[in-house]
Chain A
Amino acid sequence: MATRVGMEVSIAAAEAIKQANVDVVAAYPITPQTHIVEHLSELVNNGELDAEFIPVESEHSAMSVCTGSSAVGARSFTCTASQGLALMSEIVYITASLRLPILMLLANRTLSSPLSIWNDHSDVMSVRDCGWIQVFVENGQEVYDHVFLGYRIAEDHNCLLPFMVNLDGFVLTHVIEPVELLDQEIVDRYLPPYQPLYTLHPDHPVTMGAFATPALYTETKKAQAEALTDAMPTILKGWQEFGELTGRYYHPVEQYQTEDAKIVLVTQGSLGETASIAIDTLREKGEPVGLVKIRLWRPFPFEEFREAVAGAELVVVMDRAISYGGPGGPLASEVRSALYPQAEHPRVVNFIAGIAGRDVAPDDFVQMIRQARERPGEWYEIYGVRE
């Protein structure tokens, strides 16, 4: 019987890693990921998780260790945030092109400077093009579930790509939420042991990470690009089968009251739940508003997104990162790209909010929608900044 427990989301994440029978954990502490790593080391030292816990000397080494262990066929895990992600980013790109199914929980935290330990999406946006599968989760349950989903999808031979789960730092990591823990038997049924395609072993020597010249490099990147877009069916299948086992179904794009919506709000991550309260408030007043939450960030779900906003006249995109010198925020950029091929597309307005832990309340969403409605044109604005 699945048990429903109130627990800190970081602890739930670590428990999921334990249940997923992870072989190697390599991580470097950084706020707000610390509780995940601390609990994992307790599980290992108390004999509850049979894994090698490698207390690396930097995040760059954390991802490097995972690259080595995944290459020999060990299910490998790391987690980080902000500066740690930036430091390991060199290797993040490499693990995707080496096609190693590593799972990373990214406790989203803003990038310096100034230094801040608080939550926004500037860290994940800095590796947008790294080639990993990237999803955003909204609550503790989703964090827990996506550990199993992540490995299952990543390790599928039709996929073989590393998997990044974005969870908002502090907002999720340090908060106690109700999480339904799965029976180990269900987990084992869903997630079989990792069967690598290639491994480093003397019985069948292979060379990984060769260099390529201009004559061949284009082909290697085409292969990698196709691999990521081709991962979509495996991702959908992974979610489908998980839903059949647990009753919880996940989708590339989650929709809330979009059926007849003329104005659609777009969010990513935990603020989606807050936004839905704003949607309810506005709906009570008879306003035809809806909410689209982008769960699958890479590969970007172009078709599902276009379907979700079909019929909308105005799309209000809430970004939590700034593309300096660019067109506002990365999410809005991608939304516009997704809509551009359509003969008719809605007006897109971009708010950048929730920077480095600035609170965004339901009323803030109401204000954003109102401002977007009243002020014509396409523009972006940093919401709530003190002038």
Chain B
Amino acid sequence: MDKNLDRLGVYASRLVSQKEYFVPGHRACQGCAEALALRLVAKALGRNNVVASATGCMEIVSSPLPLTSWNVPWIHVAFENAAAVASGIEAGLKVLMRKGRIPYKRITVMAMAGDGGTSDIGLQALSGAMERGHDFVYVCFDNEAYMNTGIQRSSSTPFGASTTTSPAGTVVPGQTTWKKNMPEIAAAHNIPYVATACSSYPFDLMEKVKKAAEIEGPAYVHILSVCPTGWRLPPQLAIHAGRLAVETGMFPLYEVEHGRYRLTVDLTELRPIEEYLKIQGRFRHLTPEMIELIQQRVQEDYEKLKKKVRMTNEEQA
């Protein structure tokens, strides 16, 4: 099994700060790569961070009254308004510092939500916040379904996946629509920074989150969060699955900085998609035809992305 010693830059882990802003004792499932992603995001943003969370897995596992896993200020309000609450936090801090009521301090405002709370019910608030140009970081933890309520499909559920509301039945074989491309929707708002990340590439993730916080204006980071429970794979394979998602081109890691696209994991060759699909129970029912369809689509989308990289870098040359 490829352990990616070279990609990790072995020993880089030792340079990561041991301070945790998202503490253990949280109630995430065993092997939850979303909790891992959140841990890394919290590390990247550090102490001076205020978080507005939507309802979802991470909100529930981290805040069972009277306990909290949060070592930074954190507020949960509702499901669809993380971006709006974050807008209020950002505006409030801005005006209080301007009026001298609190001392000036560089504080990152972070909004977090799952794929449901971002691309479905939370899309409006996110779009509004991006259009208004608030200086905040929006992190979407994408586990590709409404996991917290029992693995129901979202617009982020990939084609063919079996969920409890898009079950692999005898007539309809799972999800029949393709994953909504949220990073592109964010990029279409012309915000200064958009990135995709995965907890299997922890340093890439942390660098991107740090960059997102440092850039002024709205920044959007979309993190593929492997969910062993919902995707039906053994917990110990959570990191391995994320790696395969990237290496097969299913979830390319890239960033868009002021409109300029860059692949941060640039693959000359994509692994066959089947390697990724076959380790997950949610794809167990796929026919060879469906797998071929997915393979073609992944290939096409990857080509489109590479074209964008070429086009947006030519213009800059």
When C-beta atoms are compared, the residue in chain B nearest to A195 turns out to be B101
- B87: which A residues are within 8 A, CB to CB? 54, 56, 61, 64-65, 68
Verify B102–A54 contact, CB threshold 8 A: no
Q: Kindly list chain A residues whose C-beta atoms are within 8 Å of the C-beta of B80.
A: 60
Check A202 against B107 for contact (C-beta < 8 Å). yes
B99 contacts chain A at the CB level, 8 A cutoff: yes
Residue from B48, B81, B93, B127 in contact with A64 in the complex, judged by beta carbons closer than 8 Å: B81
In the assembled complex, the Cα of A111 lies from the Cα of B52 at a distance in Å of: 31
B255 CB within 8 Å of chain A: no
Choose the segment among A32-40, A69-77, A137-145, A233-241 that binds chain B (4+ C-beta atoms closer than 8 Å): A69-77
Report the Cα distance A216→B64, complex, angstroms.
10
With A66-B88, A211-B63 as known contacts, state yes or no: A60 contacts B96, CB within 8 Å: no
| Chain B positions within 8 Å of A67 at CB level | 75, 77, 85, 88
| Contact A72/B92 with A54-B87, A211-B63 known, Cβ cut-off 8 Å | yes
Contacting pair B73 A201 (CB below 8 A): yes
When distances are taken between beta carbons in the complex, the residues of chain B under 8 Å from A64 are: 77-78, 81, 84-85, 87-88, 125
Q: Give residues of chain A (53-104) contacting chain B, Cβ–Cβ below 8 Å.
A: 54-58, 60-61, 64-74, 76, 90-91, 94, 98
- Residue of B49, B52, B96 near A74 (CB, 8 A) is B96
Instruction: State the interface size on chain B (CB cutoff 8 A).
Output: 49
User: Residue on A with the closest CB to B91?
Assistant: A52
Residue A207 interfacial (CB < 8 Å): yes
- Say whether A213 faces chain B, with CB atoms less than 8 Å apart: yes
Q: Which A residues are in CB contact (< 8 Å) with B96? A: 23, 72-74
- Evaluate contact between B84 and A209: CB separation under 8 angstroms: no
In the complex, chain B residues 85-139 whose Cβ is within 8 Å of any chain A Cβ:
85-96, 98-99, 101-102, 105, 107, 124-125, 127-128, 131-132
Max chain B CB contacts within 10 Å: which of A50, A60, A210, A212?
A210
Q: Which of chain A's residues have a CB closer than 8 A to the CB of B77? A: 64, 67-68, 91, 94, 98, 209
Q: Are A69 and B91 in contact (CB under 8 A)?
A: yes
Given A50-B98, A74-B96, A202-B49, the answer on whether A208 and B88 have CB atoms closer than 8 Å is no
> Which of the residues B74, B86, B102, B131 comes within 8 Å of A208, measured between beta carbons?
B74
Decide if B317 is an interface residue (CB 8 Å cutoff). no
Which of A51, A54, A72 is within 8 Å of B132, CB to CB? A54
Is there an interface contact between A24 and B88, defined as CB atoms closer than 8 Å? yes
Known: A54-B87, A65-B85, A91-B78. A202 touches B48 (CB 8 A): yes
B76 in contact (CB, < 8 A): yes
| B125 contact from A57, A199, A216, Cβ within 8 A | A57
Q: Does B34 contact A (CB under 8 A)?
A: no
Bound-state Cα–Cα, A257 to B222, Å: 66
Choice from B50, B76, B88, B94 contacting A210 with Cβ under 8 Å:
B76
- Are B75 and A209 closer than 8 Å at their CB atoms? yes
- B232-282 contacts to A, CB under 8 A, are none
- A73:B102 contact, CB within 8 angstroms: yes
Bound Cα distance from A193 to B100, whole angstroms: 12
Interfacial chain B residues near A60, Cβ < 8 Å: 80-81, 84, 125
- Are B95 and A68 within 8 A (Cβ)? no
CA distance A69 to B50 in the complex (A): 12
B93 near A72 with CB under 8 A, answer yes
Docked CA distance A205–B137 (Å) = 19
CB pair B95 A24 closer than 8 Å: yes
Interface pair A205/B73, CB less than 8 Å apart: yes
Q: List 11 other contacts, CB 8 Å, given A74-B91, A216-B66.
A: A23-B92, A57-B124, A58-B125, A61-B128, A64-B77, A69-B92, A72-B93, A76-B92, A201-B107, A209-B77, A211-B65
Q: Give the top 7 A-B pairs by smallest Cβ distance, nearest first.
A: A68-B88, A57-B128, A69-B92, A74-B92, A64-B84, A209-B76, A65-B88
